[in-house]
Chain A
Amino acid sequence: MGIKTVAIYSDADARSLHVVLADEAVRVGPPPTDQSYLSIPAILKAIKETGAQAVHPGYGFLSENSHFVKSLEEAGVTFIGPGEKAMADLGDKIQSKIIAKNSGVNTIPGFNGVVKNTDHALEISRSIGYPIMLKASAGGGGKGMRIAWNDQEVIEGFKLASQESKSSFGDDRLLIEKYIDNPRHIEIQILADKFGNALYLPERECSIQRRNQKVIEEAPSVHLDSSTRKAMGEQAISLVKHVGYVSAGTVEFLVDSKRNFYFLEMNTRLQVEHPITEYITGLDLVEQMIRVAANQKLSMKQEDIKYKGWAIESRVYAEDPEKYLPSIGRLSKYIEPVSLTDKHEVRCDSGIVEGSEISIYYDPLICKLSTYGETRDEAIQIMGRALDSYVIKGVTHNIPLLREVIGSSRFKSGKISTKFLAEEYPGGFKGHLLKDGPLIELSSIAALIYAKRDVRNWCWKDSREGSSNRNVPNNWNLWVKIHNSNSKIETVNVRIERRSTALQHEDEYQVTVAGHPQTIINAQWPIESPLINAQLHGLNQLKKSVTVQYLDPLPVGFRIQYMGTKFDITVHNQRQHELSQFMIEKPKKDLSKVILSPMPGSVVSIAVNVGDIVNEGVEVAVVEAMKMQNVLRASRVGKVKKINVKPGSSVAAEEVLIEFEDDEQK
């Protein structure tokens, strides 16, 4: 657009990508957000110094702070976003619901009061509309809860729920509220100018969530039909017009299985997941926001809005995929999969490069990875390949979880809801479980890696005996031992033979696993580099392309990332395998006697003293990182022997914080 840009940064971001890419960059303070990105005076100072005419607030930080908007207005600087009043009105959760209702937007119906009897229950249920949920007023834990889809079920449910409530809580009072079955989070992107024009763009579905935070989004949604889409869009527009909202914004809805939809809240800013809308509409939303802010009219009308294809976004976080604990560290290897295709089907919105530090100060989002396809299946398929090729080392990341969801049949079928992650991985995601075909596939690739490394080990230059390389091995009988995600070790016997001795990169291997069809594998792999693109073809099969990551060599094997999950693989030759039976499994360190820090961060408080006897489950310390507090609890009964840290101490992941006495002799 020919507009010069100024980036602002805190000390923690001094070398970030946005700083490098901008025409000018201004430091606004030290890493803590209240002294930098949330400091209105510091930002106003930066505006003054550079003579900036307008501010785009991005998302997060001050993007929905009406006080900031007001400060800018007073300073005579344009805020690229909505006006102060619309932002303030819609930013308040209770207020925005009232405004929505007054604008004719569907809100979640409910009855604020105690249900008197069956007839009363029927009356309320009918007015709310089925399905409804009967809930014990004193309830909790699912007790005294009944869902009803019709009058009959209300009559039965009322009786049962009040009895259950009585016996569980000694209180038979019941409430009725709207039940939203299999709720989906579907949102409408709107654009409005200062001349009363507003239009809605195709929806985004953001149902894959953890802790109410979006993880995977897609546009459009498989769930909507054109009439629902239109109805949601029109309600969103009526809300926007009602408050005189301008710029880009998003109206979020919950949608049930029957496509009833209810207003959740409105985000008065650009959303993190805006790239997928840009993919399918071809619009640049930031450009539109800037044009609106510059008092231009929207150049298109509702009927001009067309969309094509399907787009998916995965939020790549620096966090463990099981418990969602943030991780910090330096990205020792970092390769984005942007060159996966040459048709711009992969987009990475990130601010980091190899060597960047993921710090404790900000959100652990590493990148928004978006892919585009003509169809949903194609977008999913490209996303799978992009996740497979995305190399991130140095911090723990959630690619294992993202890859698992993308590859799951339920996600492919589109039968998703906001409960997806909780339902699919009830105890937390433990990693991809290998079995059958994929187990054999990974074993075959592991054998190939072993063979290629072994051949390389014989490639000596200018050495007396190495120069002839006559006895370079060309066939191997290997025992591939994979540490599976259920802690079991899978052992697969793989025979592998090198078939051509032309160029090392292009050599071809024949793989035999008893009971399985023979496979020919060749692989593009500069040896020891992180990405391996293997081509597998069986006798009657089509060629299959598999990307795995070679993460680290291990003493007798290597660590491989396959289907998103890291697997430790030991590869033994025949003799090592025979003799491995005599190796003694060493006992693991007893971790029940110590409390370890689950993540790097700082100690907020210590709840025990040396000599205290604590019971299992008692809070012993609190550790904070990335604005998230984690309560650490004793895993058993014991006497505190030693406390290694004080409140305020910085701690590393796995650092021993508190030690317990050994058990006394019984």
Chain B
Amino acid sequence: MRAKAQLGGGLKRIETQHQKGKLTARERIELLLDPGSFNEYDTFVEHQCTDFGMDKNKVIGDGVVTGHGTINGRRIFTFSQDFTAFGGSLSKMHAQKICKIMDKAMLVGAPVVGLNDSGGARIQEGVDSLAGYADIFQKNVLSSGVVPQISLIMGPCAGGAVYSPALTDFTFMVRDTSYLFVTGPDVVKAVCNEDVTQEELGGANTHTVISGVAHAAFENDIEAIQRLRDFMDFLPLSNREQAPTRHSDDPTDRADPSLNHIIPVDSSKAYDMREIITRLIDDGYFFEIMPDYAKNIVIGFARMGGKTVSIIGNQPLVSSGVLDINSSVKAARFVRFCDAFNIPIITLVDVPGFLPGTAQEHNGIIRHGAKLLYAYAEATVPKITIITRKAYGGAYDVMSSKHLRGDFANPIPAAQRGYIDDIILPAATRKRIIEDLAVLTHKQLPLIYKKHDNCPL
């Protein structure tokens, strides 16, 4: 029976899955976790549906593999939907398996990684299946800010199913084999008379470039899972822990004289903020989040002195680094994640202001810009700000200024200054940030009791 459970929907369907360039649920877990570390839950669960002849059609495990294991020795919980079993569709039992590991993850304080590959609701189970989704949504919300929740979309994910990834902290996709949409091309055609392919409607390119729904996309299953492992290394296991520190050979006092002149003094000249970022951080290794969306702001994870930090920088290379609706929303959600999980925020400011115009005003730049302002003002993690050149207007306040409980605001000499602590030599910026981070290790700000805040949405 255990051997049979390993095969999910059977050899034939596994072969079909492989032909699409996709791996099976179990193969994906093997790649995700350290070899031999997987402990499976509920291997032998089957659905309990008796309608539509389903009592004669059962697959051991019911379309999802769940359990826990380690990534580079650190515990995570995971579920991996099995497209070979009923197309990975979500039944009551399937949902219960997922809810169980989410509960366990909350209990012990470990992240939840979902590998999504599902045709949607198990149609034969009707409202039981929909209830299953709602159970998962509820747990997503309760877990939010307690343990990191990550979704990797590795196949279809449509209809109500999309809202679970949307509620998690990060959504990644695999190019050409994954789709996310609320309604598929057929319904779009019937209702709106629009002709659109799955890829155009909800492929990786759409969600990483146009909609901003997904945070990154990867070439194939192997690469996506490898990158997901690298990503998990940046995160604390829960909000009870500090951001992790890993061994690094990059000297903390490494001076970088080229920083003294990479930034053009002429403020109309552009430069690539990512170049500044990679020179400051450990090993130049920057895990950029949403690299192809709202490119006028750059966000991502890095390490400094081995410790995870988040980096947010205006990007002078794109629209002079102006703040607009999309870049404000992109950065705001990232700031809130980092604050929830004790990840220090390093902000590199070179901002000419907010983008003017009717397009922005009519679409609510006030409301959306307020999100970033709110997020920075609310954050209690260490906040270090480096003004690389200019900080004008309201955007100066927004970008992690002193006035929003910023801890250190250091302009480099090219900067046109506001309220500042000290002018630092660009070459010594790395050393200075790492020293400041050390000072702030045990930073504490009292939180005022509230049921919850009312962040602008």
Q: How far is the CA of A586 from the CA of B204 in the complex (A)?
A: 15
Given contacts A466-B73, A528-B285, contact A584 B249 (CB under 8 A): no
Given contacts A355-B261, A457-B72, A471-B34, contact A464 B220 (CB under 8 A): no
Any A CB within 8 A of the CB of B280: no
Would B246 and A582 count as touching, CB distance under 8 A?
Answer: no
Would A582 and B262 count as touching, CB distance under 8 A?
Answer: no
Q: How far is the CA of A465 from the CA of B31 in the complex (A)?
A: 20
- Residues of chain B with a CB closer than 8 A to A583's CB: 21, 220-222
- Residues of chain B with a CB closer than 8 A to A527's CB: 248-249, 283
Q: Which of A256-264, A266-274, A493-501, A572-580 contacts B (4 or more CB under 8 A)?
A: A572-580
Given contacts A528-B285, A529-B249, A579-B27, contact A355 B257 (CB under 8 A): yes
Q: How far is the CA of A527 from the CA of B249 in the complex (A)?
A: 6
Tell me which of B75, B175, B246, B259 has the highest count of chain A C-beta atoms within 10 A of its own C-beta.
Answer: B246
- Residues of chain B with a CB closer than 8 A to A586's CB: 175-176, 219
- Residues of chain A with a CB closer than 8 A to B35's CB: 573, 575
Give the residues from 208 to 262 in chain B that come closer than 8 angstroms, CB to CB, to chain A.
218-223, 226-227, 233, 237, 241-242, 244-250, 256-262
Any A CB within 8 A of the CB of B23: yes
Give the residues from 91 to 111 in chain A that come closer than 8 angstroms, CB to CB, to chain B.
none
- Contact pattern, A 489-529, Cβ under 8 Å of B = 1, otherwise 0: 00000000000000010000000000000000000001111
- Contact pattern, B 275-287, Cβ under 8 Å of A = 1, otherwise 0: 1001100111100
- Residues of chain B with a CB closer than 8 A to A458's CB: 72-73
Write the nearest CB–CB distance from A526 to chain B, whole angstroms.
4
Would A582 and B21 count as touching, CB distance under 8 A?
Answer: yes
- Residues of chain A with a CB closer than 8 A to B259's CB: 355
Give the residues from 138 to 195 in chain B that come closer than 8 angstroms, CB to CB, to chain A.
175-176
Any B CB within 8 A of the CB of A3: no
Give the residues from 330 to 385 in chain A that come closer than 8 angstroms, CB to CB, to chain B.
330, 332, 353-356
Beta-carbon nearest neighbor of B19 in chain A: A582
Write the nearest CB–CB distance from B104 to chain A, whole angstroms.
16
Would A528 and B283 count as touching, CB distance under 8 A?
Answer: yes
Q: How far is the CA of A464 from the CA of B73 in the complex (A)?
A: 10
- Contact pattern, B 63-92, Cβ under 8 Å of A = 1, otherwise 0: 000000010111100000000000000000
Would B257 and A354 count as touching, CB distance under 8 A?
Answer: yes
Would B249 and A355 count as touching, CB distance under 8 A?
Answer: no
Any A CB within 8 A of the CB of B443: no
Given contacts A355-B257, A555-B226, A583-B222, contact A462 B242 (CB under 8 A): yes
Write the nearest CB–CB distance from B344 to chain A, whole angstroms.
15
Q: How far is the CA of A270 from the CA of B439 in the complex (A)?
A: 56
Write the nearest CB–CB distance from A21 to chain B, whole angstroms.
15
- Residues of chain B with a CB closer than 8 A to A330's CB: 262, 275
Any B CB within 8 A of the CB of A425: no
Beta-carbon nearest neighbor of B240 in chain A: A464
Q: How far is the CA of A55 from the CA of B250 in the complex (A)?
A: 45
Of A353, A356, A456, A584, the contact of B247 (CB 8 Å cutoff) = A456
Would A465 and B70 count as touching, CB distance under 8 A?
Answer: yes
Would B245 and A462 count as touching, CB distance under 8 A?
Answer: yes
Chain B residues within 8 Å of chain A by Cβ, number: 52
Beta-carbon nearest neighbor of A331 in chain B: B258
Q: How far is the CA of A67 from the CA of B213 in the complex (A)?
A: 67
Of A15, A504, A553, the contact of B261 (CB 8 Å cutoff) = A15
Would A555 and B242 count as touching, CB distance under 8 A?
Answer: no
Write the nearest CB–CB distance from A93 to chain B, whole angstroms.
42
Any B CB within 8 A of the CB of A463: yes
Give the residues from 601 to 650 in chain A that come closer than 8 angstroms, CB to CB, to chain B.
none
Beta-carbon nearest neighbor of A461 in chain B: B245
Would B227 and A555 count as touching, CB distance under 8 A?
Answer: yes
Any B CB within 8 A of the CB of A459: yes
Would B233 and A457 count as touching, CB distance under 8 A?
Answer: yes
Q: How far is the CA of A461 from the CA of B247 in the complex (A)?
A: 7
Write the nearest CB–CB distance from A174 to chain B, whole angstroms.
61
Of A354, A553, A582, the contact of B285 (CB 8 Å cutoff) = A553
Beta-carbon nearest neighbor of A525 in chain B: B249
Would A464 and B246 count as touching, CB distance under 8 A?
Answer: no
Any A CB within 8 A of the CB of B135: no
Would A353 and B257 count as touching, CB distance under 8 A?
Answer: yes
Give the residues from 259 to 309 in chain B that come closer than 8 angstroms, CB to CB, to chain A.
259-262, 275, 278-279, 282-285, 306
> 12 additional contacts, CB 8 Å, given A461-B306, A528-B249, A583-B220?
A330-B262, A354-B258, A356-B258, A460-B73, A465-B73, A465-B75, A466-B74, A471-B70, A504-B247, A575-B27, A579-B31, A584-B176
B interface residues (Cβ-Cβ under 8 A, vs A): 18, 20-23, 27, 30-31, 34-35, 37, 70, 72-75, 175-176, 218-223, 226-227, 233, 237, 241-242, 244-250, 256-262, 275, 278-279, 282-285, 306
6 A–B contacts, CB within 8 A, in A order: A462-B242, A465-B75, A469-B73, A527-B249, A573-B35, A584-B176
Q: Which 9 A-B pairs have the closest CB atoms?
A: A355-B258, A459-B247, A584-B21, A528-B283, A526-B249, A461-B245, A582-B18, A457-B72, A555-B223
A interface residues (Cβ-Cβ under 8 A, vs B): 15, 330, 332, 353-356, 456-466, 469, 471-472, 504, 526-529, 553, 555-556, 572-573, 575-576, 579-580, 582-584, 586
